[in-house]
Structures are given as structure tokens and as C-alpha cells.
Amino acid sequence: MNDNNLDSDLFRVYVGLDDTDSASGMCTTYICSVIMDQLKSCGFRVDGPPRLIRLNPFAPHKTRGNGGVSFKMILKSRKEVHEAKKLILDLVEKLSVMDDPKTNPGVVFYEGEITPELEDYARRTIRTIVTQEEAEKLAQKIGAEIFKFKKGRGVIGSLAAIGCPLDDVTYELLAYRDPTNYGTQRKVDADSVLEMNQKTYPDTFDNIDDGYMAITPHTPCPVLYGIRGESPEAVGEAHKLVKVTEPVESFRVFLTNQHTDMHLQKIDSIDQMKQFQCYIIQGTVKTQPMVIEGGHIIFTLEDDSGEIECAAYEPTKKFRDVVRKLAPGDQLVVCGGIGNKGTLNMEKIEITDLAKVCEYLNPLCECGKRMKSAGKNKGYKCPKCGSKKSVEGKDEEIREKREVKRTISKGFYEVPPSARRHLSKPLVRG
């Protein structure tokens, strides 16, 4: 609905929620969904789909997915505004995981216009680190009303969820479990998910990861499954194809910035990088990729300004096989973020140019046998006929140089769905 067409006596109220869940359970989207149902049952009007806005994936104080939610109410009177706010706050307090010290819910109510300043703030919460003080200062400036539970850190994401501009969007349908089943194994038929993927991909995506379901979470939260796609129609059709053998309490479609690469900042040089931020950077592979403890693959990327260690961690699975084949001199565009250790965690790469890789073989004897080293800088000796070959102090000059055929091609490569961050754009989306 076009807000410009609203009657002047109606009240447009944006609602933002964040930081209501914990590592042990609950989900802010579920609380949002319950609130919306309760508002509608009480006769209050909720306008449009709710928004799920993923924030900086490397924010130090995030819970699980670091996502705030928002929706809009259209109300008839100031009395309705007061009653709706009370209902929302009561449900947030009731449903949030208040006994977790890391859970600090925040609720924001806003009746103004979405200004460029508010949009800029939202972008910064996705790409940088924004303090609670900044959020509260902006809220006061624009006339937004904030409510803090415990420390109230959730006001940061709540305000961002209201103001975030969405040039590129996706949708996620979230099906919720009956509360009696929280913490138990999810009963989703794997064959039906495979069939759903066959019929709806690429309009829906990240449903399957190497033959396994990727739509079910692994935490004791209310979410039974989530289907991500390009439109409400696509995720709705996919939802109809998924078979479950446990009750579905409800489901809700969210408009979201997931899988849009909104977190990535394109920069010109490595020395511009900062910790806890995400980038698109071009550089040259400096060191041969090596495997470290845990099965992680590490190499150094460099440009004229400096260098940074890049990592393909064990959960990225087959993506590591690609990274392992890189060689010094290869030209890359790398997308990823910098975490606690100062390493660039790669989400996807584009190989723009491949270096020429050569190997050096011991020289061939005239008898046809490959010679063996006689010792460092002492030349070579044939094990068959005893012939010797040497250039004093320069073994490398008589070795045979041979170009190695590369087993990797130029192009784009990405981590699998199970390792993909919420904001990372899969290649299937272009």
C-alpha cells in the first residue's frame, strides 16, 4: 500500500525487534510472527510482509544469525497505538530468553518517514560496527521510541530493521514447530525436500547441500524449516511440496536482505581493511596454500599496499579443494569478512588469471634413465650406467624445467549452502 494514500487520521507505526533469542533457543522471527497474529486477532491492522534484516555477520555481540525484524501497523487512533504497543511489549517480555545473560532485547516504535540518515545507519549496522549509544542517539534525533529489556542492545538491530533500504531482496518462508517438539529431532521428509528442490530451483535455493537437507536448523529453536527464494510465490509453492510428520504451528513469509551481498564493501587495497568488516578485494596469491590443524586451508593474498591471510575453513568442504589448487601468482577477487583472528574468511572467489606453474626434474641420462642427485650442488649421477652430469654449484641449471598443467580454471567458486553466511549471495542469483 502507498503510504501517501493513507487517510490523514490514520497512524502509521513501524515496529522493530531484535536480540530476543539465544544460543539455546527461541527465534526473533517467531516472536515477530506471534505478535503479528495477536495484533490481527485483536483487530489491529498489520500492513505488508514483515522484514528480516541480517546485520554484520562479524559483530562481536551477535547471537546466532544476527537478524533484526520489523513490520508496519496502520492504526485508527492514538488509543489503538497505545494498546498495540502494550501488547507487543508484553509478548516480547514473555517470549524472549530473559534468563540468558547474552540476550538483551530491544524494541523500537517509529512513526516518522524513512530518511536517508536512517537508511545510512542501517547500512552501517550491516557493514561496520555500530554502538548502542549511536542507535539511541539517532532514535532520539528522529523521534523513535525505544524500549530496552536488560541492557537493551537489541535497539541497534531493531532500528536498522526499520530503516534498511532494500534494492535487492529475497524471501524466506519459515515454518514453526509446535512448542512441545522444541529440542527434538525435526521430522521433515528428506525425499520431499529433494523433489521440492528439483521442481522449484533456482526460484528457491540452498535447499540441498550435497544431497542433504539444508532447510532445517540444528538448534532447539521454534523453526521447523526455512525456504529461501526469489518471490513469495516461489517459497509458498515450495512449502506445499515439503512433507513433515509433526505438527506445523504456523508459517510466515519474510521480506529480507539475505543472500544479496549487502554486507560486502568493494575496496581498492588491502590496507583499507578493518577487523569485523566484509569486503570485495582483488589481489595476487603470494604463498602456496597449506593445510593446517583442523583441515583448514590458508594462504596469503597480496597487493601493492600489503597482504592478508585468507582462509577456507573446514566447514566449507569442497570449496577447500579449489583453494588447495591455487598457486603463487594467481590473480583473485575475494569476497569475505575479517573475524577475531584477523584472517579473511572467504565466502567466494573469482579466479581472474592463472599463473604459469613449472616443476623441475632431475636431468635424463643418455641411457634414458632419470638421474639422481649426488648431493647438494654436486650434480647428478645415473643409477643405471653411472654417468655423471654437473655444473659447479648450479644444480638448478641442469634440471629439466616442465610446465605443470593446472587442474583449476578461471571463474567463480563459492562455499556450499551449509557454510554460506545469511548475507552471502549464491552464484545462482547472478
Q: What is the mean pLDDT of each run of 10 residues along the chain (430 residues)?
A: 56 97 91 98 96 95 85 97 98 96 96 97 97 98 98 97 97 97 96 98 97 92 97 98 97 98 98 97 98 96 98 96 98 96 97 94 87 84 87 70 93 97 96
pLDDT on residue 24: 82
Q: 16, 162 in Cβ contact below 8 A?
A: yes
DSSP string spanning 141-176? HHT-EEEESTT-TTHHHHHHHHH---SS-EEEEEEE
41 backbone φψ class: left, alpha, beta (φ>0; ψ -120 to 50):
alpha
- Going by their DSSP bridges, the two strands 331-338 and 306-312 should be labelled as unpaired
Cα–Cα dist 137/155, whole Å = 11
SS3 90: helix
Of 133, 105, 121, the residue nearest 160 (C-alpha):
121
pTM above 0.85, yes or no: yes
Q: What is the number of alpha carbons within 13 Å of residue 256 lying toward its C-beta?
A: 33
pLDDT on residue 332: 98
Q: 69, 53 in Cβ contact below 8 A?
A: yes
pLDDT on residue 7: 56
Strand partners, 108: 16, 146
pLDDT on residue 83: 98
- Going by their DSSP bridges, the two strands 264-266 and 278-285 should be labelled as parallel
Residues in Cβ contact with 340 at an 8 Å cutoff, skipping those fewer than 6 apart: 275
DSSP 396: G
Of 276, 280, 248, the residue nearest 264 (C-alpha):
280
Which domains are seen in the chain, by residue range? 3-163 (3.30.70.2200), 170-256 (3.90.600.20), 264-356+407-429 (2.40.50.1010), 358-403 (no CATH)
Q: Give the distance from CA 295 to its chain's centroid.
A: 21
The one-letter amino acid code at 14 reads Y
pLDDT on residue 5: 46
Q: 9, 104 in Cβ contact below 8 A?
A: no
pLDDT on residue 286: 98
For residue 135, report the phi and psi dihedrals to the nearest 5 degrees: -65, -45
pLDDT on residue 2: 44
